[in-house]
Amino acid sequence: MTQLNEWGKPLRDANLTFGWHNHDFEFTEITSSIRPIDIILSASNYLSLELDVAWAMSTDADVLNFVSQHRARISAAHIKDIAPAGHCLDEDGWADVGHGTLDWESLFPALLAAGTQYFIMEHDNPTDDKRFAKRSIEYASPLLNSLR
């Protein structure tokens, strides 16, 4: 993992951000208190995090606590939603932002307070990309704008 510092140095020297984008497995415990995301972040103090909120939440991780603990490292957040159990099976269980199970009214303020600069709307397998974009933006834009 110390290679992360080496790989990121040319980017940092060029005033670029070097970061990690997570999926679910980084938040799955290896032992009772160790997760891959903890090992990755401890490998480099310079590593930024592009937090995929839904993947982290899919493991029952305490994402609000994680955001609070790592606030200085989260430069971007992938914003997507998890459908209720048994719904959106044709979309691999993902939902349009604000139409799933995630509590964005708590998550957005926490991410903004952490200094997150970029919010990337995402859906891993939408059956209708225009519907996804329209509904997600209609939900998230007023909420984010009210918090800024």
User: What per-residue confidence (pLDDT) applies to 33?
Assistant: 84
Question: DSSP string covering the chain, please?
Answer: -THHHHHHHHHHHTT---EEE--SGGGS-SSSS--HHHHHHHH-TT-EEEEEHHHHHTTT--HHHHHHHTGGGEEEEEE-EEPPTTS-GGGTTEE-TTSSS--HHHHHHHHHHTT--EEEE--SS-S-HHHHHHHHHHHHHHHHHHH-
What are the pLDDT tens digits along the chain (148 aa)? 568 888 889 999 999 999 999 999 999 999 888 999 999 999 888 899 999 999 999 998 999 999 999 999 999 999 999 999 999 999 999 999 999 999 999 999 999 999 999 999 999 999 999 999 999 999 999 998 898 7
Q: CA-to-CA distance for 68 and 72, rounded, in angstroms?
A: 9
User: What per-residue confidence (pLDDT) applies to 145?
Assistant: 87
In order of their start, the domains of the chain are 3-147 (3.20.20.150)
User: What per-residue confidence (pLDDT) applies to 44?
Assistant: 86
User: What per-residue confidence (pLDDT) applies to 32?
Assistant: 83
